[in-house]
Amino acid sequence: MIEAGDGSLYTGITTDVARRFAEHRDGKLGARFFNGRQPKQVVYVEAAEDRSSASKREAAIKRLRRQQKLALIGGEAADDDNG
């Protein structure tokens, strides 16, 4: 998960976090999410066994509310009924 300069959070999958962050930062190969936003820092990383499980986890994280994502970043257990 990447925090943008405006405080928004981007979630995606990659096999190389540093390379993908650089692509987002440099703009040419970055996600459209970063049009008008600047990637600030990588704030959360999870490993997955394969692309399929990574995609499923990405989708699950994208469905979380912002407060739940912040709890995940902070290492706290997110409560599905809050926020």
pLDDT, tens digit, 9 for 90 and up, residues 11-51: 999 999 999 999 999 988 999 999 999 999 999 999 999 99
pTM equals 0.86
The CA distance from 54 to 58, in Å, is 6
The residue length of the chain stands at 83
Residue 72 has pLDDT above 60, yes or no: yes
The CA distance from 23 to 63, in Å, is 24
Question: Domain 2-74: which topology?
Answer: GIY-YIG endonuclease (3.40.1440)
Taking residue 42's Cβ as centre, other Cβ atoms within 10 Å add up to 15
